[in-house]
Structures are given as structure tokens and as C-alpha cells.
Structure 1
């Protein structure tokens, strides 16, 4: 970002109504780029670099927002021009975004279809680097009353024990359960182990009178319902 004279263009050099802050006020946050939103968080650049240039370098360093959302304080402060205060502002903002994204589901979210269950968990599970096996415990109205991670790691029938799945269901007086787990590869195709675990849980649920409504495999912006595949 240079002027005709080759000097760095600083925020103060912009017309007042074209700065990220003024544009946010005038046009709303959706009108701003990721770079501009980060610039507002960072507030200032360095002696030789505008805050927009610093924000752009930050995004490039983390290859976009996907990696930045999981960055640690140490990783962010390793970038020249970003101290602990700026890093904490970024991390706090990311966490607030995560929490706000879940707010709509906290008030007894109702699951009526595999799509509802996938929507509830997709953003939380699709970027995980390990497999997470999660259970949603529902009441008689199909409202989510509890969510719990049962296991982290490669899925197989001997590790995902029905005892752990149904213990929480009994404690919460759940009427039914929806199981989900992610495939870090992004491919949601069910494996033989996925199918074996599902069948085992369904049979145990019949004995206890607690129905396994579905088992969803979460991939990259896609999912597969084992109920729709005929395994539940």
C-alpha cells in the first residue's frame, strides 16, 4: 500500500470517511473486509507500517481466518508489530464470536431432522484435528438438554463403550440420543467401524428404552446420516 512517492500509506492519510472505522459506522460491519475488521481490532500499526498493512500481514501469516481462529498468544506475538495486548484482543474477539455463534442454540434447540443436528454441531466439529465422538441428549420434545464429548481419538467399537454413552442419558432422564463424530479428513463417508459402533449403540438403546435417533458423520461443510443410510 504505497503513495505515488513510494511512502507507506497510513490510516491518517485516508479521507476520514474511508477509514475502516468510519465505513463500519456508515455501512455496517458486513461491508468491511477481514483485513479492515482486524485493523479495527489492532487499532495501530508500526512506525513503518499502517494498521491495514499489519492486518494484511497477519492474515497472510495464518493463511486466512481458519488458522488464525486457533492461534495461540505466542504464535500471534511472534509476528513483528503485535504485542501481547493486541494478541489478547484478537483471541478474545475470536472466542466471543464462537460463543455468539452458539447462542441461538442454547435455549433448548429442537432437532427434527438430520439437517437440524448437523447445523447445531457443524461449525464446532468440522475443523477439529482429531475425531471427537459427541452425544446430544434430547427430551421427549426432541429438545437438546445436554451435549457431551464421550471420546476423542480414532473410533472403534471397543473404545466407544455404550456404558459411557447411556450413563449420561440415564442421569439426565433423556428420551433419546443423537450421536455425532467428525472425520478430520473432511470426507464424511462412514467406515466399517462407524457402522459397527452405530449398530451396537442402537441395540443397547433398545434394551434400555432410550432410542438412538441418528449417528451423523461430520465432514467439511457436509455430513452423512447413518439413519438415512439404513444403519439406525
Structure 2
């Protein structure tokens, strides 16, 4: 973990060492790049681990882009080999799973807010549109979640057959559809409204209610049911 001047992390003042500060003051006292430095453990001959972790964050413009980084993108950064990249990506995945711990597979959806909260962390950062269906039982408990389509939404691509096939397979009583707007603005488009109406009509014929279609934006959402399209 040497720097250009040959300094090792242990040569830094104690109050500048991430591990020591972690033990003394807790993880909340560390910056993002200091937390990443703990995961990386070592730097390179040219950089300390703190410099390397700071450069890593700069490369991805912060945690938002780092969250979606691939193994290949990580290893393209000088000083980040496969082992270090896997350590970082594993930590990111653990963080994602921890954030979802409050929602077990029998999560109950009683309102549009419940549905949006259930999926917000998974969908708000996606770079492409994802169309997801939640399948519910008679108690409005989530019994299954499935991504139906990835890409720009239109009525010809999101076919009711794909949506309701899984509902029949799971004996679902109702469904909630969600998709994200990568722009962060959840305002419904004409295509969003057309898809919603088509799915609702098919659901009535099949006997599986479409309870809502939620559009996920940047930490906000729109319910098409509340907008009067259902």
C-alpha cells in the first residue's frame, strides 16, 4: 500500500487510517472512498489504497454509477484486478439485499405507496426501462415477481399473454404492473396509458384483476389507477 513517496497506510497518522477510525467511531464516520479502501485492502506501487479507492469513485462518478458497474468495467481500471473488483461488487450486492430485507415474499400491498416502496430500490437506478409484474394472492400478498420485458414500452411489445400466463401459473388473484422511467420523471406517456388499458381489459376477461400500474422515477412514482386510467 505504498504511495509515490513510499508511505504505507500504517505510516499515516492513526486518525487518518480507515480501519482504526472504523473501530473507534463506527462506519458512519468514514467517507465513501474510505469504506471502499477497507474493501480493497491494498493499493499499488504508485498509489495508496486511499488514492486508489478515490480514483475508483471518481471513475464511476460516485456510488450511483458504481452500483451498476460490471466486472469488466471494474477491471479496466488500473490497479483493480479481478479479486478487488469481485470484493467491491459483492459488497454492492450485499447492500442491495440488506435494503430489501424488510420485504419478505409475503409482503402485503394495500396501496400504491406499498407497491412503489417494494420495488423502488430495485428499479430507480435502472438504465433501461424494465416492465415488472407482481403477482398477488387473495390477501394481496406478493407471491411472485417477474420481469416481463426490458426496453422501450409500447402496446405491441408488452403482450397481455406474457403478463397473464404467469398469473394463471401461480393462481394469482390479481397483479400490479410496474415500470421505470430512466429519466427519473414518472409522468405517464401515451404508450404507458395504452398498455395499461389493454392489460386491464384482458385481466377482466381472464378473471385476474390489474390493481395498478406504477411508474417508478427518481425516488418518486405515479399510480395510473390514481390518475383514473384504471
TM-score relative to the length of structure 1: 0.91
| Secondary structure of 1:106 counterpart | coil
Tell me what 1:14 maps to. Answer: 12
Deviations 1:150-174 (A, max 9, x none): 1112211122111111111111111
5+ residue gaps, structure 1, are 1-5
2:124 to 123, 126, 135: 126
Task: Select between 18-27 and 145-154 the one with higher mean Cα deviation.
Answer: 18-27
2:22 to 16, 21, 24: 24
| Secondary structure of 1:103 counterpart | coil
Q: Report 1:176-187 matches (<5 A).
A: 176-187=174-185
How far the C-alpha of 1:8 sits from its partner, in A, is 7.1
How far the C-alpha of 1:73 sits from its partner, in A, is 2.5
How many angstroms apart in 2 are the aligned matches of 1:155 and 1:107?
A: 27
Runs of 4+ residues deviating >6 angstroms: none
How many angstroms apart in 2 are the aligned matches of 1:188 and 1:7?
A: 51
Tell me what 1:220 maps to. Answer: 218
How far the C-alpha of 1:86 sits from its partner, in A, is 1.0
How far the C-alpha of 1:47 sits from its partner, in A, is 2.3
How many angstroms apart in 1 are the aligned matches of 2:38 and 2:228?
A: 50
Are 1:10 and 1:49, in contact at CA under 8 Å, matched by a contact in 2?
no
| Secondary structure of 2:126 counterpart | coil
Are 2:105 and 2:143, in contact at CA under 8 Å, matched by a contact in 1?
no
| Secondary structure of 1:145 counterpart | strand
Deviations 1:166-225 (A, max 9, x none): 111111111111000111222111011111111111122222221111100111111100
Are 1:8 and 1:49, in contact at CA under 8 Å, matched by a contact in 2?
no
Task: Select between 113-122 and 91-100 the one with higher mean Cα deviation.
Answer: 91-100
Tell me what 2:39 maps to. Answer: 41
How far the C-alpha of 1:123 sits from its partner, in A, is 1.5
Q: CA RMSD in A?
A: 1.8
How far the C-alpha of 1:67 sits from its partner, in A, is 1.5
Tell me what 2:50 maps to. Answer: 52
Q: Say how many residue pairs are matched.
A: 227
Tell me what 2:164 maps to. Answer: 166
Q: Report 1:130-209 matches (<5 A).
A: 130-209=128-207
How far the C-alpha of 1:7 sits from its partner, in A, is 4.5
Are 1:138 and 1:146, in contact at CA under 8 Å, matched by a contact in 2?
yes
| Secondary structure of 2:169 counterpart | helix
Are 1:8 and 1:50, in contact at CA under 8 Å, matched by a contact in 2?
no
| Secondary structure of 1:154 counterpart | coil
How many angstroms apart in 1 are the aligned matches of 2:151 and 2:43?
A: 42
Are 2:71 and 2:82, in contact at CA under 8 Å, matched by a contact in 1?
yes
